[in-house]
Amino acid sequence: MATLPAQRHPAPPITARPFFEDKSRAFWTLQAVGWSGYLVLRGASSVSNLSLESIIPVIIEAIVGYCITLLLSTLYGYYRGLHRVSGILATVLTLAGATLLYATLDAFTFSFIRTTEPGITLTRMLGAAYVAFTVLAGWSALYFGINFYLIVEDQIDQMKDLETQASSAQLAMLRYQLNPHFLFNTLNSISTLVLLKQTERANAMLSRLASFLRYTLANEPTAHVTIQQEMETLKLYLEIEKMRFEDRLRPKFDIDPRAERARLPSLLLQPLVENAIKYAVTPQEDGAEIRVAVQLSGERVQIGVSDTGPGLNGVRQSPSLSTGVGIANIRERLVQAYGPDHRFEIRAMPTGGFGVEIEIPYQLEDVNRETA
């Protein structure tokens, strides 16, 4: 999405953390709050008068339930490492055993405090078993539900990390495709100058090539750079090419100052300029003009690279670099960087020549570096 200069998202409070980030803390918090709530509800429903005989059984019942569920959490955690069928069977048997234990203790406590003849009868046992099973089954369902939710969240986070890594790797691969092609052409030109014994020009080209490589290699392959940085890189590149074509190569830059801080993938425009040199400057005796224009239109940055060469009806029918990168590389890098939130168009210029138009969101942050 576009990031506007005026938009400022409030930073989250320093103490704000996801509740389940610390799983141990979350468990103990839920355990304390849950059983405290159970004690309040059971106490409110069973107290007919403010007497110890009414409240003590409820307190003991809550304490026993709290302890039994602690044991259940330990056993359930161990069962997750078992085979699925074995784990389910062990869980069911454990729940049944915990229900029987809870019901027995609850029935005995009730009879010991509330009756003159303590003992466990079938009626008391069935009533206590119903309450115990309801409570423990509900607790177990909540326990497994929360753990399933956490597992799904972990898997989603892992998938996002893998997608980010894959996207970064693909961006790096696409970015690294450019340097070998450019180096091949430049070194070939330097070799030609050496063969022609034009050592001063060869030295100058080597010096400018070193400056260009230092500049470009300083950026991470997946990083975004500002429009201003991209223009400086293009000018370094054109200085090298100017050694080959001299006055036949006539670059022109028309950059909106408001768009200079906007970011785009590094070396995105260099293949377009290289294409223009290959198909517009090289085949024409008087060369051609190459124009790079950048305009800010609302929340969008519009970039155009055009030339005054023969255009689509001339020698260039399918614009691409000789190594198979170029147009396809740029399309893929735009998709990786912006998804569907971009526009890439190839068109013939009204005055002749060939042009490429790119429209991207106005962004001030290096999104790829933040997510990497």
Write down the pLDDT at residue 75.
Answer: 92
Mean pLDDT value across residues 102-125: 75
Q: Which domains does the chain have, with CATH numbers?
A: 23-166 (no CATH), 177-371 (3.30.565.10)
Write down the pLDDT at residue 7.
Answer: 37
Whole-number Å distance between alpha carbons of 168 and 371: 9
Write down the pLDDT at residue 172.
Answer: 55
In 3D space, the residue among 177, 191, 168, 344 whose CA is nearest the CA of residue 271 turns out to be 177
Pairing status of strand 263-265 against strand 288-297: unpaired
Q: Which residue has the higher pLDDT, 367 or 101?
A: 101
Write down the pLDDT at residue 1.
Answer: 39
Task: Give 296-336 pLDDT, tens digit per residue.
Answer: 999 999 999 999 888 765 544 444 444 445 687 788 888 88
Burial class from Cβ neighbours inside 10 Å (0-12, 13-18, 19+) for residue 287 reads: buried
Mean pLDDT value across residues 87-101: 91
Residue 295 has pLDDT above 80, yes or no: yes
Pairing status of strand 300-307 against strand 288-297: antiparallel
- pTM to 2 decimal places: 0.52
Task: Give 232-280 pLDDT, tens digit per residue.
Answer: 888 888 888 887 788 899 999 999 999 999 999 888 888 888 888 888 8
Percent of the chain with pLDDT over 70: 77
Write down the pLDDT at residue 164.
Answer: 63
Choose the weakest-confidence range: 108-122, 182-196, 260-274, 286-300.
Answer: 108-122
Write down the pLDDT at residue 249.
Answer: 92
Expressed in percent and rounded to 5, the helix, strand and coil fractions of the chain are: 60, 10, 25
User: In the predicted model, what is the mean pLDDT of the chain?
Assistant: 79
Write down the pLDDT at residue 257.
Answer: 93
Q: Which residue has the higher pLDDT, 202 or 213?
A: 202
Whole-number Å distance between alpha carbons of 18 and 103: 37
Give first-to-last CA distance, the chain, whole Å.
17
Task: Give 149-176 pLDDT, tens digit per residue.
Answer: 888 888 887 787 766 666 556 545 545 5
Mean pLDDT value across residues 11-31: 70
Q: Which residue has the higher pLDDT, 350 or 118?
A: 350
DSSP state, residue 17 = -
Whole-number Å distance between alpha carbons of 329 and 172: 11
